[in-house]
Amino acid sequence: MGGWRDMSAEALEQQYSPSRWSPRLGSDTIIQAHIAATAAGTQRARAGAETSLHVPYGAGEGERLDIYYPTEPSGTFPALVYIHGGYWQCLSKDESGFAAPPLVSRGVAVVAVGYDTAPRGRLDAMVLQVRRSLVFLAQRYPGIRGIYLCGHSAGAHLAAMALSTDWSEYGAVPDIRGAVLVSGVYDLEPILHTYVNDALNMSREVAQRNSPVLCVAPAPAACEVLVAVAQHDSPEFRRQSREYGQALRAAGWNVSLLDLAGVDHFDIIEKLSEESYVLTQMILNMVSRA
C-alpha cells in the first residue's frame, strides 16, 4: 500500500515536524520566530482596531475570544474566525489577531478563538469548544453577516471539524459561507505514532472520530472552501491537504486547492498581516463574492 504506514518511526517524526522543513531558519529558531511574529502582529492589530478582548463564550478557562471590529462597521458585517495552530498544545488567541489590520480596514471583523490546549484540553473537547464558539457568535452578535473560518495547522483541523458539524444538536446554525484551511492535518492516525501524541494522548478511536477526511458532511448550499498548503510544508502535510480537498470535492463541496510557492509552514500564515499577500486577497475576494 505504501504511504505513511511504511515509514520508519524516525521518518514519520520528520514528516510531522514542520519546523524541520523550512529553508529560512533552523528548526530550533523558526518556532520562536513564528511566536514572535504573530505576537507582534497581534499587538499592532489591538493598537489599531476597536476590540472586545477575552469575551467568554463558555465557562471553561480557555473559552474566550477576541473580536476586532471593522474600521467603519455598517449595520452588518462579515467575520473571519481565526483558529490558531500549535499542534493542539501551544499558542493561544493572544497571538492570533495578526491578520486583522488588512481585513478590518475592508469592513471584515476578525474573531480569534481560544480553546483549551493539551495536556489540559482533550481533542474531543477542543472540537466541541470551536463549534460552541461559532454558535455563540451566531446567537450573540446578530450584526455578523456570514462567518468565514480560517485555521492554520492544528487550527485548520479544528476548522475542518467545524465544517463536519451536525448543527441540529447546537440550538443555532452559524452562517458559515467560507473556510480557508492552511497547512492543516486532516487524518490524525499518523499523529498517533509521533511525539505530537505525547501531550494529546489520543486513542485510535479518538483519532478516527476527529479526522475530517473521515467525516466529510454533505455539501451545503453555499460554502466555499480553500485548502492551502506551502511549498515548504513536508510531503505528508502536502499529501494530507490534497487528499482532504479531494474528499470534499467528491462529496460535492465547492473547493479549491492552493499550493503556495516560496513559503513554509509558518510564513504561509504570518503573511496574512499584509494586504498585498495572495492569501489575504483570496479571503477578501471570497467575502466579496458572498
pTM of the complete model: 0.97
| pLDDT greater than 70 at residue 225 | yes
Q: Report the Cα–Cα distance between both ends of the chain, in Å, rounded.
A: 42
Position 244 pLDDT exceeds 60: yes
Residues contacting residue 137 through CB under 8 Å, at least 6 positions apart = 57, 65, 79, 81, 111, 144, 147, 174
Q: What is the pLDDT of residues 132-164, one digit of tens each?
A: 999 999 999 988 999 999 999 999 999 999 999
Distance from C-alpha of 267 to C-alpha of 279, rounded to nearest angstrom = 11
**Quick check: is 233 catalytic?**
yes
> Does residue 28 carry a pLDDT above 90?
no
For the cut 90, the answer to whether the pLDDT of residue 57 exceeds it is yes
Of 94, 152, 265, 273, the catalytic one is 265
In this predicted model, what pLDDT tens digit does every residue of 100-126 receive, in sequence order?
999 999 999 999 999 999 999 999 999
Mean of the pLDDT values across residues 243-266? 97
Average pLDDT, the chain: 96
**Predicted pLDDT at 2:** 58
Per the CB < 8 A criterion, the answer to whether 153 and 184 are in contact is yes
- Catalytic-residue membership of 273: no
Upper half-sphere CA count for residue 12 (Cβ side, 13 Å): 17
Instruction: Please report the DSSP string for 109-136 in residue order.
Output: EEEEEP---TTTS-HHHHHHHHHHHHHH
pLDDT value of position 73: 66
Structural domains in the chain, sorted by start: 3-289 (3.40.50.1820)
Catalytic: which of 94, 233, 264, 267? Answer: 233
Catalytic, 152? Answer no
Using CB atoms within 10 Å of the CB of residue 17, give its burial: 0 to 12 exposed, 13 to 18 middle, 19+ buried.
Answer: middle
Active-site residue identified among 22, 96, 133, 153: 153
Can you tell me which residue has the cell 499587538? 43
